[in-house]
Amino acid sequence: MTDLKEITAALEERAAVQGPRRILHPRRRLHQAALWIADTVILASAAATLIASSAPWVRIDQGSVEFPNFRTWIRADAAWLAALWVYLLVRILLGSRNRRGWMKRILIRGLAGLFLLFLVLTHLLPDRRPPERVSVFAEGFSIQAPIPFDPDHTDPEAFRAPPSRRHLLGTDTQGRDLLSRLIHGGRVSLLVAFCSTLIAVSLGLLFGAVCGFFGGLVDLLLMRVLEIFLCFPQLFLLILVFAYLPGSLLAVVAMIGLVAWTSIARLVRAEVLRIKNHDFVLAARALGCPSFMVLIRHVLPLSVGPTLVAASFCFAGAMISEASLSFLGLGLPQGTPTWGRILFDGKGALDYAPWISLFPGLLLFLAIASIHFVGERLRDALDPRARVIAPEIMPSVSISKGRIR
Amino acid sequence: MRTYLLKRLLFCVPTLLGITLVTFALSRMVPGGPLSQRLALLHEEGIEVGDEEIARYRDLLALDRPLLHQYGTWLRQSTTLDFGRSQSGDNLPVRTKIGEALAVSLGLQLVSILFIYVLSIPVGCYGAVCYGRWHERWVTLGLLLLYSIPVFVLAYLLIVLLCTGQVLSILPLHGLRTIDRQGFTWLDHAADIARHLVLPVICLSAAGFTAMTRYMRAGMVEALALDFVRTARAKGLRERTVIFKHALAHGIVPVLALLAGLFPYLLSGSVIVENIFGIPGMGRLAFDSVQSRDYPTLMALSLIIGIATMAGFLVSDLLQAAFDPRVRLR
Amino acid sequence: MQSSTAVRWAVLLAGVILASLGVLFATSIDQAEGEAQRTEPPPFLKSHAFTDLARKSLKGSSSEPPVRGGTLTTSWFTDPQTLNNITRYDSYANRVCRYFLFPPLLDIDGSTLELRPELAASFPELSGDHRTQTWTLKKGVCWHRGLADGTVVEVTTRDVQFCFDLIKNEKLAAPHLQSPLAKFKSLEVVDAYTFRIKLDEPYARAVYDFGWEFRLMPAHLVTAPPERFDEDPLSREPVGYGPFRVEKWDRGSHLTLVRNLSYPSPAHKPYYVERLRLLFVRDLDQTLPLFRRGEIDIAVMNDPTRYEVARKEDDLRERATFHEYYLPRWLYIGWNNDHWAFRDPRVRRAMTFFFPREMMASRFYEGHAAVLSGPFAINAKGYNHAVKPLPFDPGAGEALLREAGFADHDGDGWLDRDGKKLEFVVLEPINNPAALESGFEMFQKELSKAGVAMTTEQMAFDVLLESRAKTHQFAAISLGWSPDPVDDDLFVVFHSSMCEGGNNFVNYRNPECDALLERARVEHDPQERIRISHRLHEIIDADHPMTFLINPESLVLVSTRIRDVNITQLGSLMYDWWIPK
Amino acid sequence: MTDVVLKVKDLAVSFMSELGLVRAVDGVDFELRRGETLALVGESGCGKSVTAHSILRLVEHAGGRIERGSVWFNGADLLKMPAEALRRVRGNRIAMIFQEPMTALNPVFTVGEQVAEVIREHLGRKRKEARAQAIDLFARVGIPDPSQRVDHYPHQLSGGMKQRVMIAMALACSPLVLIADEPTTALDVTVQAQILDLIASLQREQGMAVLLITHDLGVVAEVGDRVSVMYCGRMVEHGTAHEVFSEPLHPYTHGLISSIPSLTAPRGQLRAIPGGVPDPLDFPSGCRFHPRCFLKTRLETAAESGGSRICSEVSPSLREWRPSHPAACHFAEHMPPAAKEPAP
């Protein structure tokens, strides 16, 4: 089948110049949906204070115009908006086909500008929400936030109310609006997942690279350390975290991160071992590159592909284990709304108020499904073999009439 | 082969030492201890304990001897499998406590591992063979739904649906066996345990099953693209043989490597399942000894979980060597 | 993929999801309506039976005579640690030993909360200076297992002497027993059934302490030496003398007790049930499902909302009677009296004004909690109902804070005084009930409106107690106290001497209160003790060292299979419950 | 006419790629006679391998789609045959060997097992019998001490040895047709000669027809009886090896032959065909070789106007310029004999 490979090479060359017209992947519609979901979740979390807050955006009261919503902003809101701009930047750069193009240059500069603005804002704003002196539903015309409830606003007459026009997703057992709690909860869940994935990936990459590349005694010792951590079920980390720094964000992130890094380390080690003997690595060594440089410039970039995929699965796993931790009484304090926590609090009411657990569960599923498909898209994008010739023609069996004979 | 096993055993020793040392350090570094745990319980009961009784009780528990000395004595005793007595109040020898829990948990975990592998291989193959077809897409979405449901929500859903009689009442809810089982033949015993194990095994292995299926499918997709599959087809073998003999034999190797990661994963997962379904297994024992700061049980548990995981590693390596002749055990 | 099949599949899947939602919605009911505002003490017990079958099972409504036999199953959280009567200390072991296996010398009558002789034939004779007590044992009480050759061994002073010497032994590791019995210096055997004990100085509750705390073990069967006493095989297969003996103990799963008719049980405790099974259910959310399946007969509900929903379900109304009763427990927020802001009682009272206790009791506890004004259970005799709990009034709270010198001097919206912002952390044990947690969230919101910054921090209970409470390193702490049902001794909580080493975490010092507490310890006359408690209640409410929150109500479902369901002040002790054939 | 074993009529195979539809094979016709070796020759990427794979419909598994055409074997059209019937032909009546022996064998099974399973499948032999037959097959293809080698794994054999195993596997059921897809490209020259001799001797022994796919004209000259030259998915010339090598009728063939470096010819600059393989997505109109065709440029210069325009408009069909020596070129008669006048 040599000439099939030739055709691929020719097409590859053509695609590099002109860029493939449309990505032909059997799952492209799913991947597209996944990207949209990821966008909406991150947008909603970033602008949580804008979207779900009882403080209206604008209030015109006998001539005086006020922006109560902006006054409730705290440092975290600004930091999140900065993160949003970074996400949009990355999304535009990766998403579109042609890297150049004037429209893109303006967008990048604009976003970079906004990013700096929000960074500055982060230092100006207080780090704790100022007292809500002003009564919320004052008279005068005011533009309400789309979801006019704070995450911890208890609605006296709507306890365990099923989804209605007033509360789109219903309320929980303490009468708090579920949709606003999910939006604000998204923030913490994403933060927990992101930080623990960061820990897991950084440790995993470091460990895996060093173990795989240098081998010999170093590999022997570090593998033992890795095994120690692997034999350490999450349970035993409970000892340290359970009493020492319970219920804090750092504790939850540490626990999830310190367990997840071992699988990434093993993956990276295997990749590095495989890549180490490739010709171009030997060539780099032959050219006199110091071994550290070879590792960083040549070997690691290649293992980034599978690591990214593993990282996306670790991200999804972190969001789930955050819920399981709250089951063991070790998650974040009961007040902080995260998806896992809301899911856990609603578990008792599964048979008489199922929406309390159903919607966070659905949201968790959508987030994890989108992360999974983005991860899969990454893997296929980074794996050269399936890139140009559409994987639709990836080797699959022609099954006549649906039966494998 | 024997030299390889010897080498592996030799490597286990530093790791096991490391695990027990880390557990020892962790448990001692954390504030509180068996004494403060007991005083808290007494406070809860409204009983006040004078200072001299506390002092006398502390030296009975021998907590204040130098740490390294304590670790040394523990190590010496553990070589003779005498792990001392549990400090969580029931003062049972740790050996019997862990023995009981291990028997229950090992059964549950092995059945789960079997369940995971038996199911994930065919579903993985199906996913690879029909990659991209619409029904495979719905199956993948379904698997993702299963993966993204936390264990306890899945457990409660199944309980509300199958146990409490609001919808159905076909499966038992609590414990490993029905309590009054006089006059049971061994068949009834087996059936009884099986009925009790259905829900815990499903909850325990749900996430593991979906993860394993994903790896299996990735392995199979890669295997199906290799040249020898084309040769097999050119030889005119049946499609079934091509997939389940040639492609599977090559695609299953990475999945076997995951066996090693399953043991610790199942243990921490079983904490939740054992709590919900009332199964007195290793997960629950580990969680209780963590909460009641029961040092001897914790140390013994860390050793045994370490050994179990090492065994997991060894078994997965041997399986890999058995399946793939290119892997030489050196 | 042809779009038509995709559409078809999507519609099908959406239909399935909606259908399952519909089924689950059908069982959900409107939310509970609030309870009326509580003024005088709520009745101790409210039992509801909604169907005539349920009514038949209530106390005194069934006409048939009680029948012996049947098995009654209930669910507990976890195993008793050990059933060794000397070394047991956790609440589950105490309940099994004290009520079923080893009834003490004096027992508390559940309905009247008075002491009654149980193992003792009668109350002890006291010497003139109350420093010696002469006890006589009941005759004919035998150990469940006699000597090896089968001869029955009676409970005699030989066992009492053996246990007294054991408790006094230095090497025995049982601080929970040695500490309360430290007052009794010596024991002298008079004859086979009477013995005399001596104290060094008179103590009002000495009779109650000895009668209730003293524990017996079968002298003829004990083998382990004192220093390793809890390794005695009797810890696992206990031999008692009480109305029940252990039939089977499957650790982690269940404990089955079977009736022992040879024990001369007092008239008010006939114990008709033949077999009592305790199922250990670690996850409290499983109690109701187990009850629905009929695997347990008594379901203690831990979540008031779940109880309210269960009360409205038809199939549960047929199969269960619903009981709500107050067990003695009071939850409080302790303000550290040495804290720069909480030193001032006005600030402490202001805090109580900000806590919406009535709203928490009626909304989050669904009306199943009583707001308190003092350190007493709501039904305790010592509770002075003349002292009304402060209402929820943020205005009065802000006025008090202004009076105490707090105002927004630097204009950042937060109150402060001489440059220091009013900001504090409330320490809580890890798994506080969700309803209390929501109460704290409301409290935080109200304080935030008034310009006070409050946050909560959660910590393991024993670490909280050991490293923060006892060492007074906190601004505010949220704890609870289970007072002694018969006669609570507040000395350990409020006496100034108890600041170091005792339970006076909040450093509350008030000479008049100390005097009253000391007098209460020696006062024998019950009426006088009640007057002292009422006076204490007024003083503590005036000083306001703590914000007393609520006394939560216990909510229990009992299966209609059981007749004469009578809940005592000590909970469901199944004295006279019986199960028809 | 010796009986035709395999007849391919107007075969067209296409692939879907991100850049659109790629027609790798666009109307190919050829015949394969008993006992004869037909060499299918062409530059890389001209569709010769795809043609070979579509005979046994293996190309469907690689994502290709057979658009039109038919492959007649034993009176039946393999392309329309039900999958089960085709399966019984594969490996049994028509066998195939591939280019990289390194990856063509399953690393986790012994070579003996991989050969025996074909025997068990098609000839229904029992396990032991199949193994014995595999051993003597190894002996026939020249593998030293076959009874031991049969239990070895592929990674324990050299490239040449593995190709011999592939051949043994192919000849297990003594097929009528052997399709060899560049069997020697991955091997070094000495082993290449042994494999070609082996195939030739087995062919004579069993009267098997061999369809040899190669881009190495040296191999064609040595073993090929008849030759078909392909360019950009189309057949440009058929003929006996001698005819095509001595008097090529198609400029592309002429260019190919004249670019073979020969030991005897004087040193000098090698002659190569100008330009490169055209882009598979938009082949040049008319005759696909016209942009690189030296004949067209020569005719233009010779001012026979109107002549060369036809090259770029009408795609030439195969015409019998000489008996049983068709070529797809409008001006085949003007072709200079290869030997005398090498292309400019």
Q: For A235, what's the count of Cα atoms within 13 Å in the CB-facing half-sphere?
A: 28
Q: Calculate mean pLDDT across residues D291-307.
A: 71
Q: What are the chain C neighbours of A344 within 8 Å (beta carbons)?
A: none
Q: Please tell me the least confidently modeled range out of A380-384, B269-273, D187-191.
A: A380-384
* Whether the predicted pLDDT of D1 surpasses 60: no
- Answer whether B226 sits within 8 Å of D103, measured CB to CB: yes
pLDDT tens track for A61-96: 777 787 877 777 877 888 888 888 888 877 777 666
Report the residue count for chain D.
344
Q: How much is the pLDDT for C174? A: 82
Instruction: Give the residue with greater pLDDT, A247 vs A252.
Output: A252
Q: How much is the pLDDT for D296? A: 77
Band (pLDDT 50/70/90 cuts) for residue C208 is: confident
Contacts with B179 (C-beta within 8 Å, 6 or more apart), sequence order: C250, C253, C254, C256, C277, C279
pLDDT tens track for D103-116: 888 888 899 999 99
- Answer whether C458 sits within 8 Å of A333, measured CB to CB: yes
- Answer whether C27 sits within 8 Å of A352, measured CB to CB: yes
Is D278 touching A (CB cutoff 8 A)? Answer: no
* Whether the predicted pLDDT of C353 surpasses 90: yes
Distance from the B233 Cα atom to the nearest Cα atom in chain D, whole angstroms? 8
Which tokens go with B116?
Answer: 């995971």
CA–CA gap between residue C125 and residue C133 (Å, rounded): 6
pLDDT tens track for D46-101: 888 888 888 888 888 777 888 888 999 888 888 888 888 888 888 888 999 888 88
CB C518 within 8 A of CB C510: no
Q: How much is the pLDDT for D293? A: 81
Nearest CA in chain A to C448: A131
* Whether the predicted pLDDT of C257 surpasses 90: yes
- Answer whether A235 sits within 8 Å of B283, measured CB to CB: yes
pLDDT tens track for A271-310: 888 788 778 888 888 888 888 888 888 777 777 777 887 8
Architecture field, domain D4-224: 3-Layer(aba) Sandwich (3.40)
* Whether the predicted pLDDT of C2 surpasses 50: no
Q: How far is CA C154 from CA A340, C101, C189, C211, C450, in A?
A: 59, 15, 16, 19, 69
Smallest Cβ distance to A393: which of D16, D48, D181? D16
Which tokens go with A331?
Answer: 């998650």
Band (pLDDT 50/70/90 cuts) for residue A247 is: low
Q: Which residue has the tokens 């086979």?
A: C192
Q: Calculate mean pLDDT across residues B257-284.
A: 82
Contacts with B212 (C-beta within 8 Å, 6 or more apart), sequence order: B116, B117, B120, B124, B255, B258
Strand spans (E) along B210-330: none
- Answer whether C456 sits within 8 Å of A131, measured CB to CB: no
* Whether the predicted pLDDT of C13 surpasses 60: no
Q: How much is the pLDDT for A41? A: 87
DSSP per position, D175-243: -SEEEEESTTTTS-HHHHHHHHHHHHHHHHHHT-EEEEEES-HHHHHHH-SEEEEEETTEEEEEEEHHH
Residue A157, number of CB atoms within 10 A of its CB: 7
Q: How much is the pLDDT for C244? A: 92
pLDDT tens track for B15-68: 888 888 888 888 777 777 777 888 888 887 777 777 777 777 777 666 677 788
pLDDT tens track for B188-228: 889 999 999 999 999 989 888 988 888 888 888 888 888 88
Instruction: Give the residue with greater pLDDT, C301 vs A110.
Output: C301
Q: Minimal CA–CA distance to B289: which of B103, B105, B97?
A: B97
Q: For C99, what's the count of Cα atoms within 13 Å in the CB-facing half-sphere?
A: 19
Q: What are the chain C neighbours of B43 within 8 Å (beta carbons)?
A: 465, 503
Which backbone phi and psi does B9 adopt, to 5 degrees?
-60, -40
Is B56 touching C (CB cutoff 8 A)? Answer: yes
Residue A160, phi-psi category: left (phi > 0), alpha (psi -120 to 50), beta (remainder): left
Band (pLDDT 50/70/90 cuts) for residue A392 is: very low
| Run of H or E including A241 | helix A234-244
pLDDT tens track for D121-138: 888 889 999 999 999 899
* Whether the predicted pLDDT of C24 surpasses 50: no
Percentage of residues in chain A with pLDDT exceeding 90? Answer: 2
Q: What are the chain A neighbours of D84 within 8 Å (beta carbons)?
A: 405
Cα–chain-centroid distance for residue C415? 39
* Whether the predicted pLDDT of C404 surpasses 80: yes
Smallest Cβ distance to A394: which of B11, B131, B267? B131
Q: Please tell me the least confidently modeled range out of A27-31, B225-229, C238-242.
A: A27-31
Contacts with D98 (C-beta within 8 Å, 6 or more apart), sequence order: A1, B227, B230, B231, B234, D104, D166, D181, D183
Reported ipTM: 0.80
Please report the number of interchain residue pairs, chain A to chain B, with beta-carbon separation below 8 angstroms: 173
Which tokens go with B32?
Answer: 């509180």
Q: Calculate ∠ Cα D4-D9-D11, nearest 5°.
A: 135
CB A389 within 8 A of CB B216: no
Which tokens go with A106?
Answer: 């303006």
Q: Please tell me the least confidently modeled range out of A202-206, B114-118, C28-32, C566-570.
A: C28-32
Q: Calculate mean pLDDT across residues C165-178.
A: 84
Tell me the one-letter amino acid at D303: A
Smallest Cβ distance to B134: which of C6, C81, C179? C6
Helix B94-129 vs helix B186-224: angle between axes, to the nearest 10 degrees? 40
CA–CA gap between residue A356 and residue A175 (Å, rounded): 11
DSSP per position, C354-408: HS-HHHIIIIITTT-EEE-SSSS-TT-TT--TTSPPPP--HHHHHHHHHHTT-B-
CB C240 within 8 A of CB C101: yes
Q: Where are the alpha helices (DSSP H) in C372-500?
A: 394-403, 434-450, 461-463, 491-494
pLDDT tens track for A133-158: 544 455 667 788 888 888 877 777 77
D326 secondary structure, DSSP code: E
pLDDT tens track for C548-559: 999 999 999 999
Band (pLDDT 50/70/90 cuts) for residue B120 is: very high
CA–CA gap between residue D179 and residue D50 (Å, rounded): 12
CB A302 within 8 A of CB A268: no
CA–CA gap between residue C331 and residue A59 (Å, rounded): 42
Band (pLDDT 50/70/90 cuts) for residue D199 is: confident
Q: Please tell me the least confidently modeled range out of A59-63, B170-174, D65-69, D323-327.
A: A59-63
Q: Calculate mean pLDDT across residues C456-462.
A: 82
Is A1 touching D (CB cutoff 8 A)? Answer: yes
Q: How much is the pLDDT for A16? A: 63
* Whether the predicted pLDDT of A386 surpasses 60: no
Which tokens go with A257?
Answer: 């991160």
Q: What are the chain B neighbours of C27 within 8 Å (beta carbons)?
A: 166
pLDDT tens track for C316-350: 898 899 999 888 888 999 999 888 889 999 999 99
Q: How much is the pLDDT for C73? A: 93
Which A-chain residues 242-281 have CB contacts (< 8 A) with chain C?
242-243, 246-247
CA–CA gap between residue C323 and residue C317 (Å, rounded): 12
Tell me the one-letter amino acid at C562: I
Q: What sign has the CA pseudo-torsion C454, C456, C462, C463?
A: negative
Q: How much is the pLDDT for C500? A: 82
Give the SS3 label for residue B65: coil
Band (pLDDT 50/70/90 cuts) for residue D18 is: low
Distance from the C291 Cα atom to the nearest Cα atom in chain B, whole angstroms? 8
Q: Minimal CA–CA distance to B276: which of B184, B186, B154, B189?
A: B154
Q: How much is the pLDDT for B201? A: 93
Indicate the domain borders of chain D. Answer: 4-224, 231-334
- Answer whether D98 sits within 8 Å of B234, measured CB to CB: yes
Q: How much is the pLDDT for C40? A: 66
Band (pLDDT 50/70/90 cuts) for residue C21 is: very low
Q: Calculate mean pLDDT across residues D289-310.
A: 72
Pairing mode, strands C476-481 and C423-429: parallel
Q: How much is the pLDDT for D2? A: 59
* Chain C partners (3+ C-beta pairs within 8 A): A, B
Q: Round to the nearest angstrom and report the end-to-end CA distance of chain B.
A: 8
Which tokens go with C245?
Answer: 């003996």
CA–CA gap between residue A153 and residue A137 (Å, rounded): 13
- Answer whether D19 sits within 8 Å of A405, measured CB to CB: no
Q: Calculate mean pLDDT across residues D251-263.
A: 79
Q: What are the chain C neighbours of A159 within 8 Å (beta carbons)?
A: 31-32, 363
Q: Which residue has the tokens 């009520």?
A: C99
* Whether the predicted pLDDT of C278 surpasses 90: yes
Q: How much is the pLDDT for A405? A: 33
Smallest Cβ distance to C230: which of B42, B91, B275? B91
Global pTM value: 0.83
Is D233 touching A (CB cutoff 8 A)? Answer: no
Q: Please tell me the least confidently modeled range out of B274-278, C455-459, C485-489, D195-199.
A: C485-489
CB C169 within 8 A of CB C226: yes
Tell me the one-letter amino acid at C190: V
Q: Calculate mean pLDDT across residues C453-474.
A: 85
Q: Which residue has the tokens 């390294």?
A: B68
Q: Calculate mean pLDDT across residues D269-283.
A: 76
Integer-rounded Cα Rg, in Å, for chain A is 25
Residue B166, number of CB atoms within 10 A of its CB: 18
CB D173 within 8 A of CB D141: no
Which A-chain residues 366-395 have CB contacts (< 8 A) with chain D?
388-390, 392-395
Q: How much is the pLDDT for C297? A: 92
Q: Which CATH superfamily is domain A178-391 in?
A: MetI-like (1.10.3720.10)
pLDDT tens track for C499-541: 887 788 888 888 999 898 888 888 878 888 888 889 999 999 9
CB C206 within 8 A of CB C199: yes
Burial environment of residue D112 by CB neighbours within 10 A (0 to 12, 13 to 18, 19 or more): buried
Indicate the domain borders of chain A. Answer: 26-155, 178-391
Q: How much is the pLDDT for A389? A: 37
Q: Which residue has the tokens 């070879």?
A: A294
Q: Which residue has the tokens 């998915």?
A: D233
Integer-rounded Cα Rg, in Å, for chain B is 24
Q: How much is the pLDDT for D43? A: 81
